Structure 1
Amino acid sequence: MDVIALIGRILFVLLFFGSAMGHFTQTEAMAGYAASKNVPSPKLATQASGAVMIVGGLMVLLGVWADLGALLLALFLLPTAFLMHNFWTQTDPQAKQQEMIQFNKDVSLAGAALLFFGIYAGPGSELGLTITGPLFG
């Protein structure tokens, strides 16, 4: 079961690493999009969210306080879903559909992150192939 948990952690964090790279390599474009969504300090928010994705992703991947890493990712994803993908404000059907897809992706990933949190902070904290045990366990 340890190897299965490791594979699950690897697959889970791949999206965050790819997205974080975009936050750092395309900061101006992403900050412009954040500004269009009325995010305060959009450039700083873009860089900070990229850092949260890398730190949280690494914590889950390596099993260094994986519960805390998963919680960081959930705390990033839920506000992002509502601030950046507010499909209910869109009037163009195609834009509305795209924002709804992104909203649902973020909410679903937040659910998965909370599941990781619960597993690693609770009964699954003894799943092997981690560097540390849980912070909240």
Structure 2
Amino acid sequence: MSLLGDDSTESVAETVQETREVVQEEAPPKTGSTSFKLARLLFGGVLAFMAVDNFRNLEETVGYAESKGAPMAETTVPAITGSLLFGGLGIALWKLPRLAAGAVATFFVGITPVMHDFWTIDDEEQKQQQMIHFLKNLALLGGALAFLRVGEDD
């Protein structure tokens, strides 16, 4: 015999079943809504702009990457910047959204700890600047992961 009694057990089971039905009835994300279109245009557009800026200043970007110890910077910087451009445009235009968001997420996972390693810097001003860039990249990574999830449903 249950401490809660048979009626309580049935009531809990019914509540669980009702909750499952409600969750299953939820509509997928509204990727055609104006707010979602604006969100992906802003997010993807900023990322594409960052990539184009990296390409415009490629020599400087490669130099910075080399100073941070990035391996084969002359090859990896253009490649990873290309993935950021692909991802940004893909999200903005909602073309191949899972692949695009995955490219952006991979970009941020790969470059953030290498390029913005604030924990290794002694100068307090530089340390704070790098921490801000690190945290900004984490926020952008979060956005990419959200678009990756929505792209799975679309």
* TM-score above 0.5, yes or no: yes
* 8 A Cα contact 2:47 2:85, kept in partner: yes
Bigger Rg, which one = 2
- Write the distance in 1 (CA, Å) between the matches of 2:93 and 2:44: 10
Give the drift of 1:20: 0.8
Runs of 4 or more above 4 Å deviation:
none
Unaligned stretches of 5+ in structure 1?
126-137
Does residue 146 of structure 2 align to residue 110 of structure 1? no
The percent identity for this pair of structures is 32
SS in structure 2 at match of 1:40: coil
Partner of 1:61: 92
Q: Which stretch of the first structure deviates more once superposed, 9-18 or 102-111?
A: 9-18
Q: 2:44–2:90: 8 Å Cα contact kept in structure 1?
A: no
Superposition RMSD on alpha carbons, in Å? 1.1
Partner Cα separation in structure 2 for residue 109 and residue 89 of structure 1: 22
- Over residues 51-102 of structure 1, what are the superposed CA-to-partner deviations in whole Å (9 max), with x where a residue is unaligned? 1111111111111121221111011101211010000000000000000000
Matching of residue 4 in structure 1 with residue 29 in structure 2: no
The structural deviation recorded for 1:113 is 0.4
Match of 1:43 in 2: 74
Equivalent residue runs for 1:91-106 within 5 Å = 91-106=122-137
- Deviation per residue, 1:77-136 (Å, 9 max, x gap): 0121101000000000000000000000111110110011111203xx2xxxxxxxxxxx
Using the alignment, how far apart are the partners of 1:84 and 1:3 within structure 2? 35
Task: State yes or no: 1:90 paired with 2:121.
Answer: yes
The count of residues paired between Structure 1 and Structure 2 equals 123
1:35–1:42: 8 Å Cα contact kept in structure 2?
Answer: yes
Structure 1 counterpart of 2:47, one-letter code: F
Partners in 2 of 1:29 and 1:56 — Cα distance? Answer: 22
Partners of 1:63 and 1:21 in 2: how far apart? 19
C-alpha deviation, 1:14, in angstroms: 2.2
Q: Which residue of 1 aligns with 2:58?
A: 27
Q: What is the rounded CA distance, in whole Å, between the counterparts of 1:78 and 1:9 in structure 2?
A: 20
Q: Unmatched 5+ residue regions in structure 2?
A: 1-29
SS at match of 2:45: helix
Give the alignment's TM-score, normalised by structure 1: 0.85
